[in-house]
Amino acid sequence: MPRDLHAKPGHLIRRCQQIAVALFLEGCAEHDLTPMQYALLKAAEAEPGLDQITLAGLVALDRSNAARLCAGLEARGLLRRAPDPLDRRARRLSLTAAGVALVQRAEPAVEAVQQALLAPLPAAERPAFIAALACIAAAHNAASRAPLKVAKG
């Protein structure tokens, strides 16, 4: 394996993503929650009643994956998908009481995962690291297969 591969930002970002997902799955195993399920639940909690497509954009997830994940969360009784009265093709999302309870129970584990992920960095460097990641993500958002779409309002 060429050593310079391990110095390329794209390769390192992919490795960090693999590690972040592994840490999340391990840390949140007792809640039976994946990172994208958590993201959808948190977005639905923050923006109750949004349509499924808008919510998918808020977590940078493509429509088909969002639909599949939302159906699974609905089947688990965590998310309610109701037809939009103005557009029967659209689904309005909101958390159920069980969804709210799960997000609240999982939050300490999710936060512990975030801290574990950043633990190798000195505390003083963590804000700059997060800012650099946010800068890269924002600058290249349009190049994503599922760009982040911030709600207007």
Q: How far is CA 138 from CA 60, 74, 134, 145, 150, in A?
A: 12, 31, 6, 14, 11
From 13, 10, 25, select the one nearest 110 (Cα to Cα): 25
Supply the mean pLDDT for the chain. Answer: 92
**Residue 60 contacts residue 148 (beta carbons within 8 Å):** yes
Angle at 45 between CA 67 and CA 144, to 5 degrees: 50
DSSP reduced 3-state for 121: coil
List of residues 6+ apart from 66 with CB closer than 8 A:
40, 52, 53, 55, 56, 59
Tens-place pLDDT, residues 84-123: 888 878 889 999 999 999 999 999 999 999 999 999 999 9
3-class DSSP state of 151: coil
**Structure pTM?**
0.89
Specify the DSSP element, H or E, that contains 41.
helix 35-46
- Tell which CATH architecture fits domain 3-143: Orthogonal Bundle (1.10)
Answer yes or no: is pLDDT of 1 > 60: no
pLDDT at 6: 85
Structural domain boundaries of the chain? 3-143
- The values of phi and psi at residue 28, to 5°, are -110, 15
